[in-house]
Chain A
């Protein structure tokens, strides 16, 4: 089998959450918007596999829908980061040392200079807290990350003879970037994408925790943690379960990212024989 054990452990762990999120679209054990105060703070049982919270909502159902929220936010945020960052990075590399390169890279530095969470709070404070605004805030901070990775990978390719051969064949910078550069840095981008994805999950949880992410009644892992805070001594499982979900998802993605890097990076692959 190709790839190390960490790739498969990571992929397996990630798959559990992705499947749970997908299943939640069509079926959940209990409705997560219906309150049933009579059923509140029930321990785990056959009806409620992981128990209920202080409003009597099923924890398992909330975790499943919460996974959906987290993954959706992180996915779109990575999409924004790649969608804007990769073209900018390619553009900067193709025009190395020019004014465009300077503008792109100094723009990146500018975004890097702001603490991301504070800006996210600012955006949600101005435009109101919602999942959409959380996505935007997290997505913007992904842009410079992808721009840098793309530019770095592309610059080393631009010095190679086959790029020179393509220029001798009369191809322009845009065409070379798309035909030759992009396919050869795809592995870098996939690995970076996985890592940014896990950071996105963490960022969404953090924003929801402070009440700036997905709004009630949409369940979210971060807000489940925040809600459980007051009951940490009486019902610790309410905090432990969403915490485990966050840790499990992030760990799975990071392991998968490392494993993918080993699998896709020919230098590592060669060293392993």
Chain B
């Protein structure tokens, strides 16, 4: 078993961890929950001995009585992958793209001198089969790019458990995955913990994930563990105010009322968008992939419409078509009765009636522009820049809760949540009728997410614009939309009033999505005013 005793860490004189003490029991799942910057990943790196330069550590990290912090690097190399395995958030970049999956799993064994090449392949075959990639369907000679994200995460798990480690550290292992895949991966990890009697340290920002998976939970804030205990007891008592705040934020319900009118704002009729795929062979004809396959829906003025689906279902393609960035092969999209023809010749008058907020607060802004210039960019759609441009930028910033003095600053000076507020200000500046929120809160911490959801609800009440809320996160969509569309493989498989769809899903796929969404058991939450 692993025991952390008063682990403290400073990097370049900045306090990162303080007195972190944690027992990670064998055969159990220990959940480590916290927001970004709380030090949960650094705790994992400290155990692995992979801290960045300039780190000063104190305390002890005991593995079977030996202190990992005092172990020399050469010795740690033998421990890593052998007695301690680790998997990361992003399965897309965690594998070597030019090596086959069999070779990558076998390599772990060979590197540690645990097996000769032939035996290593045998073990690799068996381990890959265990994680759900049997050789009959997933040959060892496949390359990572031939697998989906969930399958790649399975390969990473196979590599991490190839040598039967005593401890597996999983750092946000399902954050980049769809809900149904997330449920499968969590199942797999739980099964491995039981079979191998290993310890699993599950690092996540999602309380619902630990509620369903972990035996023991530790909550981190600002480099300290503020509360820890057996999962159910911790959720039932929530002794620390921070835990209560986190919990309240993760199920936060913004105050809003349905205010959609019957007048249609956006009409999508039989939209079809195809992509060419690679030729099969030199003389083969290029294939066709229908990303959007006959989609029709209507969005009323001032309405909040959710669009739910897993990655690859065509929701991004549909968004781009609505925004007039991509052309449709068939069908039509109308905004306020005017048809949207994609391309540079789209009438600016239509274009300024719709704006967009993207997922990644870090990739949404030109790093070389000041906030004033960034927020004012959509004024390009006006015939002339308004006289009171600066005043209107200031008003938009005030509207989203950023002080107008921030206009002269650059985007790197702002946190993720502040950036998303600025992105909303940029979307508001032309007074649009429709704002497309493309996974706009998916990358944010729960408490920041709750604030942004409140902000969106308030702005809608004040300005009356419609939202098209695109997300893979059902729990968020459920809380902020009037109606919802469920999309799968380019088609809308179910649509209706949000409450009705969630209460009684008609389509099997919707039912599967809802079942896969992790949630905190309702009876754990009773008797508390959060």
A residues with a Cβ closer than 8 A to B are 160-162, 164-173, 180, 183-184, 273
- Cβ of B92 under 8 Å from chain A: no
Q: Is the CB of A173 within 8 A of B344?
A: yes
**Nearest CB to that of B324 among chain A residues?**
A168
Q: Is the CB of A161 within 8 A of B363?
A: yes
Q: Is the CB of B368 within 8 A of A184?
A: yes
**Nearest CB to that of B52 among chain A residues?**
A273
Q: Interface size class for chain B? A: 20 to 34
Q: Is the CB of A170 within 8 A of B323?
A: no
With A and B bound together, what is the CA distance between A167 and B344 in angstroms? 8
Instruction: Tell me the dominant secondary structure on chain B's binding face.
Output: loop
Q: Is the CB of A169 within 8 A of B381?
A: yes
- Cβ of B509 under 8 Å from chain A: no
Q: Is the CB of B377 within 8 A of A166?
A: yes
Q: Is the CB of A170 within 8 A of B352?
A: yes
Tell me the minimal C-beta distance from B9 to chain A in angstroms: 16
Q: Is the CB of A169 within 8 A of B360?
A: no
Q: Is the CB of B358 within 8 A of A165?
A: yes
Residue of B348, B354, B367, B377 touching A165 (CB-CB under 8 A): B377
Tell me the minimal C-beta distance from A270 to chain B in angstroms: 11
B residues with a Cβ closer than 8 A to A are 12, 53-54, 323, 325, 344, 346, 348, 351-352, 354-356, 358-360, 363-368, 377-378, 380-381, 423, 426
Q: Is the CB of A164 within 8 A of B366?
A: no
With A and B bound together, what is the CA distance between A165 and B425 in angstroms? 13
Q: Which residues of chain B are near A173, meaning CB under 8 Å?
A: 344
Q: Is the CB of A161 within 8 A of B344?
A: no
With A and B bound together, what is the CA distance between A171 and B344 in angstroms? 8
Residue of A160, A165, A172, A273 touching B356 (CB-CB under 8 A): A165
Q: Is the CB of B380 within 8 A of A170?
A: yes
Q: Known contacts being A160-B363, A173-B344, is A168 close to B355, with CB within 8 Å?
A: yes
Q: List 9 A-B contacts (CB under 8 A).
A: A162-B364, A168-B325, A168-B351, A170-B346, A170-B351, A171-B377, A180-B366, A273-B53, A273-B54
**Nearest CB to that of B411 among chain A residues?**
A162
With A and B bound together, what is the CA distance between A253 and B248 in angstroms? 59
Q: Which residues of chain B are near A171, meaning CB under 8 Å?
A: 377, 380
Q: Which residues of chain B are near A273, meaning CB under 8 Å?
A: 12, 53-54
Q: Which residues of chain B are near A166, meaning CB under 8 Å?
A: 366, 377
Tell me the minimal C-beta distance from B366 to chain A in angstroms: 5
Residue of B325, B351, B352, B368 touching A164 (CB-CB under 8 A): B325
Q: Is the CB of A167 within 8 A of B380?
A: no
Q: Which residues of chain A are near B377, meaning CB under 8 Å?
A: 165-166, 169, 171
Q: Known contacts being A168-B325, A173-B344, A273-B54, is A184 close to B367, with CB within 8 Å?
A: yes
**Nearest CB to that of A175 among chain B residues?**
B380
Tell me the minimal C-beta distance from B468 to chain A in angstroms: 13
With A and B bound together, what is the CA distance between A172 and B324 in angstroms? 13
Q: Known contacts being A170-B352, A183-B368, is A164 close to B380, with CB within 8 Å?
A: no
